[in-house]
A = this chain, B = another copy of it.
């Protein structure tokens, strides 16, 4: 999976190296929903069991999931998100909202998420400093390391 010669140091690439493989983010979805058992994951995700076992090992090694026994004798396990894993949930809900908007005609969404405030969750990515929603035109990229060149209006 390692992009053998990615010349760009990049946290997006690094993050995707951990969670960008097929099924990994769906595993996280299920685990965040509380469906952390192997057979649940197989059924709900539709992944081959061997692949799923590989992904789970990777995610545990990466510190995104933990494996806990929910029963000794017989030993039975459950995967749960770590804090780092939970912090990927905003990525999931943002991706879900994008899919709802662009991949479906209005309002046959497969799932609605409710926020503690009582409203349906419509996730918006904002700038922490000013609170404004992030729009492409308002961003400019500043590479900190060699290997980067950016063109156009976002140039350093």
Contact = CB atoms under 8 A, between A and B. Distances in A.
A4 interface: yes
B139 A99 contact: no
A74 to B, nearest CB: 19
Contacts of A15: 95-96, 98-99, 103
Give how many copies assemble into the complex: 2
A55 B31 CA distance: 29
A120 to B, nearest CB: 7
A134 B113 CA distance: 11
Interface string A123-156: 1111111111010111111111100111111110
B90 A125 contact: yes
Contacts of A8: 44-46, 110
Given A20-B22, A122-B128, A154-B33, A110 B3 contact: no
A5 interface: yes
21 contacts: A3-B23, A3-B47, A11-B99, A11-B103, A11-B111, A12-B26, A20-B20, A34-B153, A87-B98, A87-B101, A90-B134, A94-B125, A109-B144, A111-B143, A112-B144, A114-B140, A121-B129, A122-B127, A122-B129, A123-B125, A125-B125
